[in-house]
A and B are shown apart, each in its own frame.
Chain A
């Protein structure tokens, strides 16, 4: 054994004499960090790096089989899922690894922001970190495109439509993005090049810079209320703190990073085993239009925002908001490079994080069930609850048929079934009079199409009569002015409704 050990040392020395990398790497690993940074809050940066390596390895494995051509990509994914031993598992790990990577990069960003780590002298580390976030999102989007299915195809269409709104050069940008006049072979090839060469190359180089600066400037110390960052004194104080409380990063602090990395990889494996790979959904065949395209999880919030923006605000918001948002993130350390680091002394920062997180969370939640989308088959699949047909006249029942046949259910729910685009109709007559319903159906408005051309007079009458029976627990809406007119005409009881339809129903 001593001989073996001796041989080992000699081999190491042989390489070390020529490479000279061992000594600086060991020095970097063992460099002293303030003991307060040996915390479970400080594991996300290394976690993101570990998952990046996982993505590179699994990405290369997938590239062994994947065919980056528009005509074959989808079949090669099906081949990976079903015909290659464990191909589905590698795809699942790469897909789940992508979600985990975006999540951990976001958590890392929130942590370093909350801990004031972007302040002097780590401004550039933060700025490069912002680019790393954008590159990670770029990997997520291009990766979704390489999963060349219906969602990918129409997702590219959405991307091209957004680019086409750029003033003046929009058309040229679309051409460059698609590589041709339509979404086709050259489009997939260029997204393959982006996903496999361009973005990973820049990403790795920037991760290198990011880690280099963390080593060079030292890890951000645990912030304390009242410990103000001042450019004149910070470096001296930091060195004093490190000398006073310093512990070697490896092993005294790094064990937490290592355990977190292992737990995270296990979680990715668990998700991959339990949930399996993402798609592919239907073939990327634009002639199959029975599809409701949807982006991957981390772009759902954007999908929701695009649905809710008013049409005339959409283009300005699409291009001004990202510039402002990314610009603010990049300039943050330049304008807030000094001062308090502790979150208890930075209420605006905490408020901002909270508001942004809640907003993204709400939009993402909305994106999971897309209340703004018509449900294309609700009119044929969701029946009207029988209770809503009891004690109705034949005319009212034929109105229920009109409601069904004219696709009203695609946007309006009844009995909890149907689209959420428009309001539920269960109690529509409780807040709209018959006249108002007539007007709304025929002329539309308030985000509803006009049905005047799609309904003949008898259909309209039947439909409105049926809707007038739907007032739930409310009393039917009545038109106060009409009642006054009628009561002045005759001395009939003002309490009785002038509309027979609302009274015959119940």
Chain B
């Protein structure tokens, strides 16, 4: 104590009891100023919190679908009719330090001619990579044993719906898909058993059309 304050200032009001009214008057003023300072800091804190919260929530505030864009998977000749093939593409949204994680695989099924289905690699259960078995015409998931038929519909196991499908189109004899975001139950259509709320009737109708097992119509791409 003595070290910190070699010359303690002697304040008359503090040492002399007959100035007590002044002290208490000063006290209430200082309490007011302290409360004011708290208020000021609260306001500054609130101002500071806005950009901090905005920064933290940034990834969630992107417009829906803004991370998706059309990606070319290759010329149609790469995909023999009646076969299902694994195709890798570079995600349209990447950072330069993503490394291999920016390469995303998907399953392309050419039913016939220009009729395609493009499935996400992620199992609809918990996102593990499903594998295609041409002989039994099944997709199987190594994690919890989900299985899907060749058209992506649920065959057995814990998934509650079929495989996620990408929107696709054919341009200049190339197959393109609308991709960019990891497909999960939250951002993909769920017609079988909606567990989250889908806003608006028209989106429900759109989702219903998306989940048809037939290949996409051209109107789906608009």
Contacts and interface: CB of A to CB of B under 8 A. Distances in A.
Nearest to A453: B137
B194 to A, nearest CB: 10
Contacts of B125: 161, 306, 311
A174 B186 contact: yes
Given A182-B91, A372-B145, A167 B195 contact: yes
A306 B159 CA distance: 11
A175 interface: yes
Interface string A362-380: 0000000000111010010
B129 A164 contact: no
A289 B129 contact: yes
A159 to B, nearest CB: 9
B186 A307 contact: no
B156 A449 contact: yes
A505 interface: no
A158 B145 contact: no
Nearest to A455: B136
A415 interface: no
A154 interface: yes
B93 A180 contact: yes
Given A171-B184, A444-B155, A454 B135 contact: yes
Given A154-B128, A289-B86, A410-B140, A182 B181 contact: yes
A447 to B, nearest CB: 5
B97 A181 contact: no
A80 to B, nearest CB: 17
Contacts of A154: 127-129, 143
Interface in A57-106: 69-72
B189 to A, nearest CB: 13
Interface stretch (B7-15, B16-24, B52-60, B70-78): B52-60
Nearest to A69: B97
Interface in B84-100: 86, 88, 91, 93-100
Nearest to B105: A287
A171 B187 contact: yes
B150 interface: yes
Contact of A307 (B101, B129, B145): B145
A444 B156 CA distance: 9
B210 interface: no
B126 A451 contact: no
B219 interface: no
Contacts of A379: 133, 135
A283 B195 contact: no
A185 B143 contact: no
A394 B11 CA distance: 113
Contact of A174 (B102, B133, B184): B184
B193 A312 contact: yes
A256 interface: no
12 contacts: A69-B99, A163-B186, A164-B186, A174-B182, A176-B60, A181-B67, A182-B91, A182-B93, A183-B101, A286-B103, A315-B195, A444-B156
List of 4 A-B pairs having minimum Cβ-Cβ separation, nearest first: A71-B99, A164-B184, A157-B127, A449-B155
Given A71-B101, A175-B60, A178-B59, 13 more contacts: A154-B129, A157-B128, A158-B126, A170-B196, A171-B187, A172-B60, A181-B67, A182-B182, A311-B158, A376-B131, A450-B155, A453-B137, A454-B137
Interface of A: 18, 69-72, 153-154, 157-158, 160-168, 170-176, 178-187, 283-287, 289-293, 303, 306-307, 309-312, 314-315, 372-374, 376, 379, 405-408, 410-411, 421, 444, 447-451, 453-454
